[in-house]
Structure 1
Amino acid sequence: MEQGSSCFFSNVGCLNFAILLIIAASTLLLFRILYVIYRSTKQLHNRPPGPLSTLIVLGSGGHTAEMLNLLAVMQMDRFKPRYYIAAATDNMSLQKARVMEDTLKSKVKYL
């Protein structure tokens, strides 16, 4: 091994190794870019064929209002059956949920 050389091989060997390393890294980068482009053109998730069973948790402190606001903008035909959970002492939340479900049922009858 030569004195003052930081490479195990000759300077030409180091140059060839560096070029090979750059080509390998460029090839891997190109394959990665092509793979990402290929995957981004595909649809990630297919929609489930049927409705989804949904759990709705109601509670005090504004949670009932938040959940009912979310329910108002959902596609209700995709999210059924809907199961509501509330505390046994939270009659107001259960009453609001019943009113919401009754409203949905009456809308479906007239469509």
Structure 2
Amino acid sequence: MGPESIVRIGRDGAVLLAERGRVTVSGSADTGILVAVVAENESGSPDWRLDLAVSAQGRVESGELVEDGTTWTIQAQTGLIASQIDTQFVDVESDRAVTVRSSAAGPNVPMTFRIVGRTS
């Protein structure tokens, strides 16, 4: 995907425009918080686009990212986000909040990312 991508998120079909270095979020999820992540891998490229549905307790319920035809899925059982989450807004930076697994052969990619979300 290019530096500007429109991503469809959530069960209500909300859309967001995600640009390099910036995240815009709209919509809500039944599980509580909808988040979208724009980040880079350790080599500094490419741009990643990642949708996550996060419960009010801060655990990743589901999500995936697609880059260069490879789908990376979130392992929800490892997706605890260690952060204080208030009822209005969450702003987290972490390199350990989720584990991603690739659909292609090769090593899993460590990610550093920023999470921005709103409660429903």
- TM-score, length-scaled by structure 2: 0.20
**Could you say which structure has the larger radius of gyration?**
1
- Relative to its length, the structure with more helix (as a share) is 1
